[in-house]
Amino acid sequence: MALSVDIQKRLGNFELQVKFETAEGMLAILGASGCGKSMTLKCIAGIETPDRGRVVLDDVVLFDSEKHINLKPQNRKVGYQFQQYALFPNMTALQNVMCGVREGNRQEKRQKALAIIDRLHLNGCENKKPSMLSGGQQQRCALARILVNEPQVLLLDEPFSALDAHLRFHTERQVENIINDFGKTVLFVSHDRDEVFRLTDKIAVMENGHLKTMGEKHEVFKDPSTIGGAILTGCKNISDAEILSPNRVFAKDWGIELSVGEIPEDFRGVGIRMHDVKLLRHNGDHQASAENAFHCKVIGEIENPFSCSIMLRPDGKEGERYILVDLNKERWNEIRSEYLDVCLPSEKILLLK
């Protein structure tokens, strides 16, 4: 199954301009609220109409502005799950699923609905209304209503945002199994980088209506390419920077010079993940001679459930931001000091546009 999308849509001062292709399997679009993720799904599903462009699913043209093709949503073989599931509150789970069946008489629709309810392990919930279902059951009911028509592509709009953390993790595993059984193209949008990383192998990062980077998840997290992408993938240490020489930059917000790798065009800044900051000083052993090594003053600490984020400022520098390093609580208590020597390995520094 292959999906090709090349669309543009303007909403006031906001412009959505998205172009990508994806085949069988799941692609996640990671982006902040308001960046255009949901609008992209709605344009694919036919709920919204792009101003121009083309959407093709398995060689079937769903939308083409030049050829004036714009198939109705019910003719697109696209399953769209709304963020809040959109279940009818006064109907039972079975009735909700039956509403999704497009062909057949009432008995045939009932049999199809019961079959998908069994497949999604909702047995015993047939006569319960949505308010009587758990969050995970509501989600599976919404999925059942979509899957009962055997769509060619499944669009999931922030599918876990309505669930609490414990239920979300459990439901993710259930939905992952359902998606694997589905065996077709799945497009999944989220603002949660951990959720995206757990569920998908391929990620596209969206910023302000544009896809900035797309690829295998480990590669995207290793090199998110842009400042926005670094933020979305969880990088806490980011600084504007200027080029000093082909492999050396000045990190303005930290007030330090850094040796780096090959600097890209449109370079704007640097970043380094907390776990990539290397601690050099241990038990009073001073080792500040390594490349990109700095003697830093501890200016504060943030206690997390299982670690401490230590705020560091390079000694004698007046940068506007501190550098964070994440340490195990036991280790921090063992080496607690007013100063730490750290290294920002050049191969771990993100070079950002």
Question: Alpha carbon of 57 to those of 18, 22, 75, 99, 202: distances in Å?
Answer: 16, 10, 12, 24, 19
What's the gap between Cα 8 and its chain centre?
22
Q: Which residue is it, tokens 């008489």?
A: 105
Write the DSSP assignment of 133-187 as a string of letters.
S-HHHHHHHHHHHHHTT--SEEEEESTTTTS-HHHHHHHHHHHHHHHHHH-SEEE
pLDDT digit of tens for each residue in the chain (353 aa)?
689 999 999 999 999 999 999 988 899 999 998 999 999 999 999 999 999 999 999 999 999 999 999 999 989 999 998 877 788 999 999 999 998 888 888 888 899 899 989 888 888 999 999 999 988 888 889 888 988 888 999 999 988 876 777 777 777 887 788 888 888 889 999 999 998 998 898 999 999 999 999 999 999 999 999 999 999 999 999 999 999 999 999 999 999 999 999 999 999 999 999 999 999 855 444 454 578 999 999 999 999 998 999 999 998 887 678 999 999 999 999 899 999 999 999 999 999 99
- For CATH 3.40.50.300, list the domain ranges present in the chain: 3-230
| Number of C-beta neighbours around residue 292 at 10 A | 18
Question: Sign of the C-alpha dihedral, residues 236, 239, 244, 245?
Answer: positive
The domain 3-230 is placed in CATH, from the list 3.30.70.270, 3.60.20.30, 3.40.190.80, 3.40.50.300, at 3.40.50.300
Q: Which pair of structure tokens corresponds to residue 115?
A: 């079959």
Of the candidates 81, 171, 91, 83, the one whose C-alpha atom is nearest the C-alpha of residue 130 is: 91
Write the DSSP assignment of 287-311 as a string of letters.
-TTSTTEEEEEEEEEEE-SSEEEEE
pLDDT value at residue 281: 58
CB 200 within 8 A of CB 188: yes
Strands 202-207 and 210-216 come out as antiparallel
- Cβ burial of 110 (10 Å; 0-12, 13-18, 19+) is middle
pLDDT value at residue 170: 76
pLDDT value at residue 163: 73
Dist. CA 31–CA 48, nearest whole Å? 19
